[in-house]
Amino acid sequence: MRSRIAALALTMSLGFAAPASASTQFTFLNAGTVTAFGYYVGQYAGYEGAPVNSNVVLNCVDFFHHIQAGDIWSATLTSLGSSTGIGTDTRFNNLTAYRQAAWLTTQYAAAPNAATVGDIQATIWNLFPGSPTPPPPSSNSWLLASQAYVASAPASAFQSYWVVTDVTAHLVGGADNPASVQEFIIYDDTFNPNVTPTPEPATLLLVATGIAGIAGVRIRRRKK
């Protein structure tokens, strides 16, 4: 996710009970602290809809849309274990690129500095072409590494990686909706689209409480 460098102040008291179905609810919390190219890069924080306060790491693959602190949206989750839903539920029709992006997100943790995180992020962004052109990485080394991994990995290696796509990503007729939320990849080995959990009492209490003290900053594609 690219974002203009700005302070994000956010105090949340939030909970939602959403069925663990083909679509679920997400909340964007913050864009972390690592910056490159004038944007936040790397791993970002959010809530996955159920159970309440289920923390999730959001990895942006989409340079072409916006999000802001405190945004809550419904998203379709598409597993990268198969091609089902790729190109119909997701923004892009490229399973290989999504799998490369999924592997690249696993490399953030060992990155020695912000410049390396930025190169990984830029490599992910450039897997998915569009306008404006994403910033380029300093080399193609991460691209080559991701290609090598995906070429040798079984489909089962990706079954717990999910593309998180705003349900409003496409307009009637299939055109892109520029007002929809950015697309992300998450790792979740517990999500089951066929199970609908029962809301906990604490969930219902937090829903009643709502959001307290959100100070959101619009995340845009412009550099500082």
Domain ranges of the chain: 9-219
> What whole-number distance in Å separates Cα of residue 96 and Cα of residue 86?
10
Spell out the residues 6+ positions from residue 189 whose beta carbon is closer than 8 angstroms to its own. 160
Mean pLDDT of 24-32: 94
What pLDDT sits at residue 29? 95
What pLDDT sits at residue 49? 84
Confidence of residue 196 (pLDDT cuts 50, 70, 90): very low
| Per-residue model confidence as pLDDT tens digits over 86-109 | 999 999 999 999 999 999 999 999
The region that residue 9 occupies, defined by phi over 0 for left and psi between -120 and 50 for alpha, beta otherwise, is beta
| Per-residue model confidence as pLDDT tens digits over 34-91 | 999 999 999 999 999 866 668 999 999 999 999 999 999 999 999 999 999 999 999 9
The region that residue 70 occupies, defined by phi over 0 for left and psi between -120 and 50 for alpha, beta otherwise, is left
210: DSSP letter: -
One-letter identity of residue 101: A
> What whole-number distance in Å separates Cα of residue 176 and Cα of residue 154?
31
